[in-house]
A and B are shown apart, each in its own frame.
Chain A
């Protein structure tokens, strides 16, 4: 298939499919967001790509931020056509895309594309300006948790927002924020600091509210128990910057799979599962949690980390500099974490990892110019089943 040439003038930083894979939103250094129609029916994108003769069907294109746009995410379909974007301009914006006039026929000539664009007007619903540094990742929480958004920024905060009134998409409120400044090097706000901050939410409806956040070379799993707490650390497994993280769709499995892409050239897959004890005791609170220090602290000494803050989520947005145990993790013994696969076939920086719809296949891209597709074998090891090279 021919590539789709989009209309950005600078490099693309992120793309996001809508829930059904029919549209994609792209964001770029050119400060624009563009939305394209991929396909009218099966989400394959094939029809649109072929019919449009390499010209993707632009639905809307607008200047969305005042600096490079880093990430873009599409909300669940229950909430309509909503996307969120975050940028180096320290802002997060929520957009409502009007797709009601999009021509769903396969007749996707340029004229039609232009007409479509003329008929559609994307609306800014809200913007969040709380961050004091570039916002590197955003993530809509799974829809069963409400219409919520989480952001992670280089100022050392994970922030949460919630739509108060579903009938009023401008009614967002800030919920809480998590201060992880103590985990960052002192120069973390400078431009020289690597841009490796990621969020990924556990999509399962049937497990506790969890997510993974990675910042620089650190990765922590958070779990909601009254408030979000770090319950697992993945630090000891990584020896470089974590470039991407992806929590797999669980699809009824009782365990979770989490993949990370790392500067050390490894694609790692972790298995997180609840042990019998959790099933027996249930969510009974503190008795299950034993505070233990993160065993990896020693490994991070050379990262100039400030180790004075309490890594718990606070409802007070101005919380900072409260002292407590260094990088305390409320390890949940009912939860087991296991590194099940480490794959270094890229032999270079791994930039992205992405799961398929069922969480049975994993993709990874690296500086070797390849996309590798992995699948879990019977021995729990991930084996490469396909490889695509972007080099001629």
Chain B
């Protein structure tokens, strides 16, 4: 091989390379071709240590794009002092931090207080107030007066309402990527749903096969939990990608999520893996978590095109090779070796060639072990045999080299290579010391030991103790200032509470789902919720001591004792376990965001705590139903949980909404379903009264269709099929309440058709109805007048009335009017009667005032006869009596004739 042809390709020359690092899949081998060496470490993303630059993000191990250009087009930079400005893409956009609270400070786009104008604002007796929206994660701020009784001219900024949006812990760190975060949480919830009973930890998981416990149940459970965690990891990767695509301002959140991802990968490999995927997952974890190694610089040095030295002869080559092996990057090792043009050694140096072939053979062998311990032993045996042979070879080589006189056949370079090979094969044989020596850090060493010493899940702690034992020659201590490293270290040690706390800090909303999996796996089995809550418990009043001088130390001590006694009973959220506590709180957060309300409700239902019904009873009435489907969803929850009182309340609330919005039938139907009979009667009589005032059927096709006969003129095609169905199965309570209007409707209909007899029959039915509200009596009476004048109006020879019907009406008039006026002895009754008469008169006058000229109604019919319409109740009664007298006379006369 010509040394000059060894190039680093794009990795160095073009600053960009497409490199394959394939741990899981078949190698796509994207090594640069055309005799160009190019190699890329496992993963490069987000930041490089020097310039903290976000380059690109691709977590697929076999497809990683890297932009090493540290040029000037940095879009995102971070400042590490914690209180500085985070620069973003858009010039001028910045995230400020409030000095008092150390949280992100948001400025209103059009703030009411000018810069440095706070003192003037306060002196002008202005103050700020804020109200939360009762259903959403938003609210309105407004300028108010600190003195309510003063009157002062307000400027535009004083009489404005300032919307404040996305007020939720869920949105807090995701203020500019809310949609994708909502999607993410929805996906996590779906994943949570699929867990079913697997989310409950059981030693035997007996629930899956009651009475038939077998080992496969545990396997199924482990598989479900593993897949579930894997799903969360995938979704988290997608979220990070989306956030980067959106060029989110809050870059710290991306770094937090990246740390979170590293911890999840560690969790997956250490606690959720089985023997077959342990080493793979472990490699994925460490390589994703530490994408900066093997370092780019090393690659540059090895593949430097400046001279013709073969990479194998470079001092860094074997370090690099060993690091790849310890990191489990076997595909990359094979790619590397295949591209070294080893055939050249076949002719020049057969020993080295054979050693490379042995290495390739061993690496290939290792990849086919698949947790088969027999094969693993065979692999180790082979490695050890090679080491033994190499020891002899090196020994002989040294003797030959010593005896040779600058003979080209034996040289120091080849000796060095042989010794390096020996180190490499010794690492493959699982030598702890050499693995530790050749590892850069504790997790790399852990991976190396797990790969080559003995891959067994139970050995994690033992290995960790070995790695961190500073009494031995080679050891690695974790960098505890690094969030993910510290958390992973705690995780492997089994300190799950510390890990959960770290996870909560990084992303509060993913942690409940992760905690659920940990709980299901039994990892939190030894902890109680109080352990978790007390993990960071501070003394009561610890912070408030400075502010409440009136509270004595004794008070505080008493409160502390009280605290400990009451700790259990004040807890109050009914959750028992850590994961339940986290899920419950997350659910409550979700309930304040409309898009996540189904998630919140779903989580609460799955938690199924004793207070579930209370929570839903208090919350669900707040949910505004845009569509019938929304309401159906609410009602289905009520049905499932047997929340009949809540469903009645929902029916009632929405009935009022529908009635207010003119959807009368649905409103009445819901009122009937809610059991609010008083209100239902009220609205039904309102319809009745409205119809009488208009002296016609009400202008509502659906109600008229419901009360009408099937042969009515309203065409069914105009009516929604659901209404047709509803009519057939009309709620009996509604049927009863709407029946007076049904009679009135029929009265108007028959009268319009000219069927006076049947029409009158219906009107008289209403007069006879004993529950008729008294205040509508005058309106009914008005409708009776044209019938009393029918002899003239319709040229009828015979009266439409029977004598007893007229006598009945006379009695009714007496009862309604005279008796009420006369009964003045009892003050209460008298007042009540007075109110009824007043209301009746108002309705009557309202009816007269709203008469539409040209329409066929009782007022216009009388007008045709040049009869003046009675102006008030008194006149109406008088005129009615006159007409009745005439009609009675006519009946008597008719009797005489016949």
Contact A17 B543 (CB under 8 A): no
Bound form: Cα–Cα A277–B867 in Å: 78
Among B130-138, B422-430, B434-442, B876-884, the one that faces the other chain is: B130-138
* Contact partners of B829 in chain A: CB under 8 A: none
**Which residues from 555 to 569 on chain B have a C-beta closer than 8 Å to any C-beta of chain A?**
559, 562-563, 566, 569
A11 at the interface (CB under 8 A from B): yes
**Which residues from 507 to 535 on chain B have a C-beta closer than 8 Å to any C-beta of chain A?**
532-533, 535
A363 at the interface (CB under 8 A from B): yes
Distance in Å from the Cβ of B304 to the closest Cβ of chain A? 52
* Contact partners of B585 in chain A: CB under 8 A: 360
**Which residues from 626 to 668 on chain B have a C-beta closer than 8 Å to any C-beta of chain A?**
626, 649, 652-653, 656-657, 660-662
Contact B624 A388 (CB under 8 A): no
A235 nearest CB neighbor, chain B only: B550
Contact A78 B106 (CB under 8 A): no
Contact A252 B649 (CB under 8 A): no
Binary contact readout B614-625 vs A (1 if CB under 8 angstroms, 0 otherwise): 111111011010
A5 nearest CB neighbor, chain B only: B160
Contact A88 B148 (CB under 8 A): yes
A contact residues, total (Cβ < 8 Å):
120
* Contact partners of B141 in chain A: CB under 8 A: 365, 371, 388, 390
Looking at the complex, which one of B121, B592, B678 makes contact with A369 (CB distance below 8 Å)? Answer: B121
Contact B130 A389 (CB under 8 A): no
**Which residues from 137 to 172 on chain B have a C-beta closer than 8 Å to any C-beta of chain A?**
137-154, 156-165, 167-169, 172
Contact B163 A4 (CB under 8 A): yes
**Which residues from 90 to 134 on chain A have a C-beta closer than 8 Å to any C-beta of chain B?**
99-100, 104, 134
* Contact partners of B542 in chain A: CB under 8 A: 381
Bound form: Cα–Cα A29–B612 in Å: 44
**Which residues from 563 to 592 on chain B have a C-beta closer than 8 Å to any C-beta of chain A?**
563, 566, 569-574, 585, 588-589, 591-592
* Contact partners of A349 in chain B: CB under 8 A: 127, 146
Contact A388 B108 (CB under 8 A): yes
Contact A11 B145 (CB under 8 A): yes
Distance in Å from the Cβ of A337 to the closest Cβ of chain B? 11
Of A3, A18, A360, most B-chain CB atoms within 10 Å: A3
Contact A356 B572 (CB under 8 A): no
Of B152, B162, B165, B572, most A-chain CB atoms within 10 Å: B572
Looking at the complex, which one of A364, A380, A385 makes contact with B172 (CB distance below 8 Å)? Answer: A385
Binary contact readout A320-344 vs B (1 if CB under 8 angstroms, 0 otherwise): 0000000000000000101111111
Do A388 and B106 contact each other (CB < 8 Å), given the known contacts A8-B154, A352-B130?
A: yes
Of A68, A252, A273, most B-chain CB atoms within 10 Å: A252
Looking at the complex, which one of B161, B168, B626 makes contact with A4 (CB distance below 8 Å)? Answer: B161
Contact B657 A77 (CB under 8 A): yes
B101 at the interface (CB under 8 A from A): yes
A97 nearest CB neighbor, chain B only: B660
Contact B108 A389 (CB under 8 A): yes
B772 at the interface (CB under 8 A from A): no
Among B111-119, B182-190, B283-291, the one that faces the other chain is: B111-119
Bound form: Cα–Cα A166–B158 in Å: 39
Contact A372 B101 (CB under 8 A): yes
Contact A255 B570 (CB under 8 A): yes
Contact B618 A363 (CB under 8 A): no
Contact B536 A11 (CB under 8 A): no
A301 at the interface (CB under 8 A from B): no
Distance in Å from the Cβ of A344 to the closest Cβ of chain B? 5
Bound form: Cα–Cα A136–B136 in Å: 27
Bound form: Cα–Cα A269–B574 in Å: 21
Contact A12 B142 (CB under 8 A): yes
* Contact partners of B169 in chain A: CB under 8 A: 361, 375, 385
Bound form: Cα–Cα A384–B101 in Å: 6
Do A12 and B163 contact each other (CB < 8 Å), given the known contacts A100-B660, A367-B122?
A: no
Do A11 and B533 contact each other (CB < 8 Å), given the known contacts A68-B148, A253-B572?
A: no
B391 at the interface (CB under 8 A from A): no
* Contact partners of B98 in chain A: CB under 8 A: 370, 384, 387, 389
* Contact partners of A167 in chain B: CB under 8 A: 678-679, 681-682
Of B130, B152, B551, B592, most A-chain CB atoms within 10 Å: B130
Distance in Å from the Cβ of A7 to the closest Cβ of chain B? 8
A279 nearest CB neighbor, chain B only: B569
B471 at the interface (CB under 8 A from A): no
Contact A11 B143 (CB under 8 A): yes
Question: What does DSSP make chain A's interface, helix, strand, loop or mixed?
Answer: loop
* Contact partners of A351 in chain B: CB under 8 A: 127-129, 144, 146
B354 at the interface (CB under 8 A from A): no
Contact A336 B570 (CB under 8 A): yes
B295 at the interface (CB under 8 A from A): no
Bound form: Cα–Cα A271–B101 in Å: 23
B611 at the interface (CB under 8 A from A): yes
A185 at the interface (CB under 8 A from B): no
B581 nearest CB neighbor, chain A only: A378
A37 at the interface (CB under 8 A from B): no
Do A9 and B653 contact each other (CB < 8 Å), given the known contacts A2-B110, A386-B106, A391-B118?
A: no
Do A42 and B679 contact each other (CB < 8 Å), given the known contacts A21-B136, A345-B100?
A: no
Contact B612 A392 (CB under 8 A): no
B33 at the interface (CB under 8 A from A): no
Bound form: Cα–Cα A274–B604 in Å: 23
Binary contact readout A1-32 vs B (1 if CB under 8 angstroms, 0 otherwise): 11111111111111111111110101011000
Looking at the complex, which one of A7, A354, A370, A391 makes contact with B131 (CB distance below 8 Å)? Answer: A354
A284 at the interface (CB under 8 A from B): no
* Contact partners of B148 in chain A: CB under 8 A: 13, 29, 68, 70, 88, 134, 136, 195
Contact A56 B131 (CB under 8 A): no
A287 at the interface (CB under 8 A from B): no
Contact B143 A166 (CB under 8 A): no
Bound form: Cα–Cα A44–B159 in Å: 20
A292 at the interface (CB under 8 A from B): no
B591 nearest CB neighbor, chain A only: A358
A188 at the interface (CB under 8 A from B): no
Do A381 and B682 contact each other (CB < 8 Å), given the known contacts A356-B167, A390-B113?
A: no
A50 nearest CB neighbor, chain B only: B163
B105 at the interface (CB under 8 A from A): yes
A249 at the interface (CB under 8 A from B): yes
B594 at the interface (CB under 8 A from A): yes
Bound form: Cα–Cα A370–B113 in Å: 10
Bound form: Cα–Cα A17–B132 in Å: 8
Contact B103 A10 (CB under 8 A): no
Bound form: Cα–Cα A205–B646 in Å: 11
**Which residues from 157 to 212 on chain A have a C-beta closer than 8 Å to any C-beta of chain B?**
166-167, 191, 195, 203-206
A275 at the interface (CB under 8 A from B): yes
Contact B135 A10 (CB under 8 A): no
Do A387 and B163 contact each other (CB < 8 Å), given the known contacts A251-B588, A253-B611, A254-B574?
A: no
B795 at the interface (CB under 8 A from A): no
* Contact partners of B80 in chain A: CB under 8 A: none
Looking at the complex, which one of B113, B546, B592 makes contact with A391 (CB distance below 8 Å)? Answer: B113
B128 nearest CB neighbor, chain A only: A365
Bound form: Cα–Cα A276–B621 in Å: 30
Bound form: Cα–Cα A254–B570 in Å: 8
Please list the 8 inter-chain residue pairs (A to B) with the smallest Cβ-Cβ separation, ordered nearest first: A252-B615, A342-B544, A167-B682, A252-B614, A3-B160, A384-B101, A252-B611, A20-B624
A-B contacts, 26 of them at CB < 8 A, read A4-B161, A6-B159, A7-B159, A8-B154, A11-B126, A11-B143, A11-B145, A12-B142, A14-B144, A21-B136, A24-B161, A29-B150, A77-B653, A78-B652, A104-B661, A136-B148, A167-B679, A252-B615, A352-B130, A357-B134, A357-B619, A358-B588, A367-B127, A368-B100, A385-B103, A389-B108
**Residues of chain B whose beta carbon lies under 8 Å from any beta carbon of chain A:** 98, 100-101, 103-118, 121-122, 126-154, 156-165, 167-169, 172, 532-533, 535-538, 540-544, 546-551, 559, 562-563, 566, 569-574, 585, 588-589, 591-592, 594, 611-619, 621-622, 624, 626, 649, 652-653, 656-657, 660-662, 678-679, 681-682
* Beyond A11-B158, A77-B657, 7 additional pairs, beta carbon < 8 A: A88-B149, A255-B570, A273-B566, A273-B569, A276-B569, A388-B105, A389-B105
